[in-house]
């Protein structure tokens, strides 16, 4: 099945991934390309619609990102957002200049053209998120103004005959109350997309594509038990069964019983047809980490040891044809589209690629999906909910939740404390509202009293944050009685702990993890 495609052209705005996500929420498939992408390539993809994103520049300045006028003459509907809207006007003969009043934040937008397709079903006065210092002072010939604000004469404009639409605000951010409706009006109403991009079709198509690509070859996957690698394993297993070998390295820094859970799902008694190799490397890691206290040194050892073990296992298996990876779309976008968004962080999957594994090609079955879509695919494949909705867990695991030296004894303490904490958060019904929560072990011991005995034990720190993107975060407000119960259980049930702290620090200045 050839899927309907909407293309998002990236001009460097901070919300560009959100634009693509919102379009996909309308069940329309969508991909992001740099503004440097050649128009012939865009044409060849035959998109049903094109969306131009925001960006930090002024379109009338000489070196600012731009696009050929031809883009607006392809007969494909185009929606420009913020910078994209200004660029559309600038290229087509309207006027864009520095605004006398900059608009930033939630702003009331008044719809002037009630029968505009973009505003179908949208309130006449609607709150939108504005963030601009330039404004459209004059629309291009053929355009009519469809909405304004108190300070901005052109909040939206359109040339319906040419299929061109401009919006000054950001419909993709949730602060724009009816933004998703407006984007859906564009992709479904204007572009005529059917909105039939669904997970079951994705799963079916991907399974077919994997079979075609792999043939009778062999595939190797490093399975961590995290959402992405688990869903990749599920997909590959359905596609090629025992041609897939998954290597699961238990580094002894997993949460309580986690290694067994992963084995339960993907191992010989699980529901997937594949070769499962569990490497019990706990002791090897504890030996390597003995005496090491510096956080970066710990991270490095944990990462390198993983690669080494994976390579050793791969060597035993012999040459494989494909190395599979759980790369997802945000990884692809964040490694840079070659456009303005640039490299936010180096590709975490490719960064960790083993050098000494003999394979011909890489296979990344999730590279087109956002995280929420990966989860949907996981459910579709029958992967248990507790795995699919698992909270983020860092690659170095408990190694960065034990401040200072890692020892087997400390791992046991933090595992037990963390299991109690998670259990009580779930019992209180708070688990859906907190994005990440865990116990960590401080490197501090202090004096206490238990019964009639003096104790000299460790302090556990509880962390819980609410966050949208994990780049900034707030400490979650957990009811005192829940914290109190967690404290009391940890002190009573976990040997070696005599104090419990709750971490109130936001990010920044703190990070979510402790090291
Ligand atoms: P920080 O501590 O930087 O964490 O505020 C932000 C998010 O990233 C996760 N995290 C990691 N994930 N490998 C990972 O796969 C890592 O080395 C790593 N370090 C932090 C962290 O759990 C949080 O969700």
Q: How far is the CA of 298 from the centre of ligand 1 (A)?
A: 14
Kindly give the residue spans of alpha helices, DSSP state H, lying in 28-123: 39-45, 83-92
Q: Closest ligand 1 atom, CA of 507?
A: 5
Distance CA 218, CA 214 (A): 7
**Does ligand 1 lie within 6 Å of residue 226's CB atom?**
no
Tell me if 230 is assigned to a ligand binding site: yes
Lowest mean pLDDT among 201-210, 299-308, 338-347: 338-347
Comparing CA positions, the residue from 399, 418, 423 lying closest to residue 513 is: 399
Distance CA 484, CA 457 (A): 19
Comparing CA positions, the residue from 458, 484, 478, 476 lying closest to residue 512 is: 476
Is the pLDDT assigned to residue 347 strictly greater than 70? no
Q: pLDDT confidence of 468, banded at 50, 70, 90?
A: confident
Q: Is 443 helix (H, G, I), strand (E, B) or coil?
A: strand
Is the pLDDT assigned to residue 174 strictly greater than 90? no
Q: What is the pLDDT of residues 255-275, one digit of tens each?
A: 999 999 999 999 999 999 999
Q: pLDDT confidence of 207, banded at 50, 70, 90?
A: very high
Every domain range in the chain assigned CATH 3.40.50.620: 199-388
pLDDT > 90 in the chain, percent: 86
φ and ψ of 31, to 5 deg:
-130, 155
Question: Hey, which residues does 156 pair with through a beta bridge?
Answer: 147, 167
* 199-388 CATH: 3.40.50.620
**Does ligand 1 lie within 6 Å of residue 345's CB atom?**
no
Was domain 401-502 assigned CATH 3.30.300.10? Answer: yes
Lowest mean pLDDT among 252-256, 306-310, 347-351, 410-414: 347-351
Q: How far is the CA of 227 from the centre of ligand 1 (A)?
A: 14
Catalytic residue among 82, 128, 191, 193: 82
Tell me if 503 is assigned to a ligand binding site: no
Lowest mean pLDDT among 187-191, 336-340, 364-368, 501-505: 336-340
Is the pLDDT assigned to residue 145 strictly greater than 90? yes
Q: Token digits for 335?
A: 């490694």
Mutate to test the pocket of ligand 1, among 466, 513, 515 (most ligand atoms within 8 A of CB): 513
pLDDT for 337: 61
pLDDT for 2: 54
pLDDT for 430: 96
Lowest mean pLDDT among 103-117, 271-285, 324-338, 440-454: 324-338
Burial class (CB in 10 A: 0-12, 13-18, 19+), 227: buried
Q: Closest ligand 1 atom, CA of 393?
A: 22
Contact assessment for residue 43 and residue 54, using Cβ atoms and an 8 Å cutoff? no
Lowest mean pLDDT among 94-98, 235-239, 280-284, 355-359: 355-359
Catalytic residue among 4, 103, 172, 178: 172
Distance CA 48, CA 77 (A): 7
Contact assessment for residue 367 and residue 328, using Cβ atoms and an 8 Å cutoff? yes
Mean pLDDT, to the nearest integer, of 38-51?
Answer: 97
Q: Whose CA is nearest to atom 18 of ligand 1?
A: 394
Q: pLDDT confidence of 336, banded at 50, 70, 90?
A: low
Is the pLDDT assigned to residue 125 strictly greater than 50? yes
Name the class of domain 5-190: alpha beta
- Radius of gyration over alpha carbons of the chain, in Å? 26
**Does ligand 1 lie within 6 Å of residue 511's CB atom?**
yes
Contact assessment for residue 460 and residue 498, using Cβ atoms and an 8 Å cutoff? no
Is the pLDDT assigned to residue 196 strictly greater than 80? yes
Is the pLDDT assigned to residue 132 strictly greater than 70? yes
Q: How far is the CA of 433 from the centre of ligand 1 (A)?
A: 19
**Does ligand 1 lie within 6 Å of residue 512's CB atom?**
yes
Every domain range in the chain assigned CATH 3.40.50.880: 5-190
> Across all residues in the chain, what is the average pLDDT?
93
Question: Hey, which residues does 449 pair with through a beta bridge?
Answer: 454
**Does ligand 1 lie within 6 Å of residue 352's CB atom?**
no
Mutate to test the pocket of ligand 1, among 298, 350, 392, 402 (most ligand atoms within 8 A of CB): 392
Per the document, the length of the chain is 515
**Does ligand 1 lie within 6 Å of residue 505's CB atom?**
no
Burial class (CB in 10 A: 0-12, 13-18, 19+), 186: buried
Q: What is the largest CA-CA distance in the chain?
A: 87
Mean pLDDT, to the nearest integer, of 162-179?
Answer: 95
Distance CA 435, CA 473 (A): 9
User: Can 172 be counted among the known catalytic residues?
Assistant: yes
What residues contact 26, with CB distance under 8 A and at least 6 apart?
A: 180, 183, 184, 187, 188, 193, 195
pLDDT > 70 in the chain, percent: 96
| DSSP class per residue in 185-209 | IIIIIIS-------HHHHHHHHHHH
Tell me if 227 is assigned to a ligand binding site: yes
Confidence (pTM)? 0.81
Mean pLDDT, to the nearest integer, of 369-373?
Answer: 90
Distance CA 354, CA 346 (A): 16
Every domain range in the chain assigned CATH 3.30.300.10: 401-502
Tell me if 229 is assigned to a ligand binding site: yes
Kindly give the residue spans of alpha helices, DSSP state H, lying in 47-198: 83-92, 179-184
pLDDT for 17: 87
pLDDT for 356: 78
pLDDT for 319: 87
Kindly give the residue spans of alpha helices, DSSP state H, lying in 455-511: 480-493
Is the pLDDT assigned to residue 341 strictly greater than 60? no
Q: pLDDT confidence of 27, banded at 50, 70, 90?
A: very high
Q: Whose CA is nearest to atom 10 of ligand 1?
A: 394
Q: What is the pLDDT of residues 393-444, one digit of tens each?
A: 999 999 999 999 999 999 999 999 999 999 999 999 999 899 999 999 999 9
Distance CA 327, CA 346 (A): 13
Q: pLDDT confidence of 469, banded at 50, 70, 90?
A: confident
Comparing CA positions, the residue from 102, 105, 145 lying closest to residue 127 is: 105
pLDDT for 63: 94
Q: How far is the CA of 112 from the centre of ligand 1 (A)?
A: 46
**Does ligand 1 lie within 6 Å of residue 394's CB atom?**
yes
Q: How far is the CA of 211 from the centre of ligand 1 (A)?
A: 34
Is the pLDDT assigned to residue 15 strictly greater than 50? yes
Q: How far is the CA of 514 from the centre of ligand 1 (A)?
A: 10
Lowest mean pLDDT among 379-383, 467-471, 488-492: 467-471
Distance CA 485, CA 471 (A): 30
Q: What is the pLDDT of residues 216-257, one digit of tens each?
A: 999 999 999 999 999 999 999 999 999 999 999 999 999 999
Mean pLDDT, to the nearest integer, of 479-493?
Answer: 98
Tell me if 226 is assigned to a ligand binding site: yes
Q: Whose CA is nearest to atom 12 of ligand 1?
A: 394
| Cα torsion angle, 221, 222, 223, 229, sign | negative
Is the pLDDT assigned to residue 194 strictly greater than 90? yes
Q: Token digits for 147?
A: 């909405």
User: Can 97 be counted among the known catalytic residues?
Assistant: no
Q: Closest ligand 1 atom, CA of 513?
A: 2
21 vs 9, more confident: 9
Is the pLDDT assigned to residue 40 strictly greater than 90? yes
Distance CA 218, CA 152 (A): 59
């Amino acid at each position: 099945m050839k899927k309907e495609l909407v293309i998002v052209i990236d001009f460097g705005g901070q919300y560009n991934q959100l634009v693509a996500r919102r379009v996909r929420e309308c069940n329309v498939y969508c991909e992001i390309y740099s503004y440097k992408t050649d128009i012939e390539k865009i044409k060849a993809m035959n998109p049903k619609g094109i969306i131009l994103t925001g960006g930090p520049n002024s379109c009338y300045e000489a070196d600012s990102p731009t696009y050929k006028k031809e883009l607006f003459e392809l007969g494909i509907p185009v929606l420009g957002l913020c910078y994209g809207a200004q660029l559309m006007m600038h290229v087509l003969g309207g006027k864009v200049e520095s605004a006398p009043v900059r608009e930033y934040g939630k702003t009331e937008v008044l719809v002037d053209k009630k029968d505009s397709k973009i505003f179908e079903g949208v309130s006449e006065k609607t709150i939108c998120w504005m963030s601009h210092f330039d404004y459209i002072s004059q629309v291009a010939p053929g355009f009519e103004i469809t909405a304004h604000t108190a300070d901005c004469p052109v909040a939206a404009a359109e040339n319906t005959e040419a299929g061109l639409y401009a919006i000054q605000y950001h419909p993709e951010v949730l602060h724009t109350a009816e933004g998703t409706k407006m984007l859906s009006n564009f992709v479904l109403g204007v572009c005529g997309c059917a909105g039939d991009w669904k997970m079951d079709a994705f799963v079916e198509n991907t399974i077919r594509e994997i079979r075609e690509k792999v043939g009778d070859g062999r595939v190797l996957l490093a399975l961590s038990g995290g959402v992405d690698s688990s869903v990749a394993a599920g997909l590959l297993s359905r596609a090629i069964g025992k041609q897939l070998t998954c290597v699961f390295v238990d580094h002894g820094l997993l949460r309580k019983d986690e290694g067994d859970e992963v084995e339960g799902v993907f191992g010989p008694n699980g529901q997937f047809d594949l070769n499962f190799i569990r490497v019990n490397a706990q002791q090897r890691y504890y030996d390597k980490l003995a005496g090491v206290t510096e956080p970066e040194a710990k991270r490095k050892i944990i990462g390198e040891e993983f690669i080494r073990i994976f390579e050793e296992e791969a060597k035993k298996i012999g040459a494989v044809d494909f190395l599979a990876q759980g790369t997802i779309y945000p990884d692809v976008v964040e490694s840079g589209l070659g456009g303005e968004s640039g490299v936010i962080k180096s590709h975490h999957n490719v960064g960790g690629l083993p050098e000494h594994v003999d394979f011909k090609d890489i296979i990344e079955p999730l590279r087109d999906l956002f995280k929420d879509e990966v989860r949907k695919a996981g459910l579709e494949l029958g992967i248990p909910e507790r795995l699919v909705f698992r909270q983020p867990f860092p690659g170095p695991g408990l190694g960065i939740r034990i401040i200072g030296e890692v020892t087997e004894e400390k791992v046991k303490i933090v595992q037990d404390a963390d299991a109690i904490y998670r259990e009580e958060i779930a019992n209180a019904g708070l688990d859906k509202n907190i994005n990440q929560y865990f116990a960590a072990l401080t490197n501090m011991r202090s004096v206490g009293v238990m019964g009639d005995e003096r104790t000299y034990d460790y302090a556990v720190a509880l962390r819980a944050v609410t966050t949208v993107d994990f780049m900034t975060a707030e400490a979650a407000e957990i009811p005192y009685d829940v914290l109190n119960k967690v404290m009391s259980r940890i002190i009573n049930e976990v040997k070696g702990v005599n104090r419990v702290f709750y971490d109130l620090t936001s990010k920044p200045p703190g990070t979510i993890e402790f090291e």
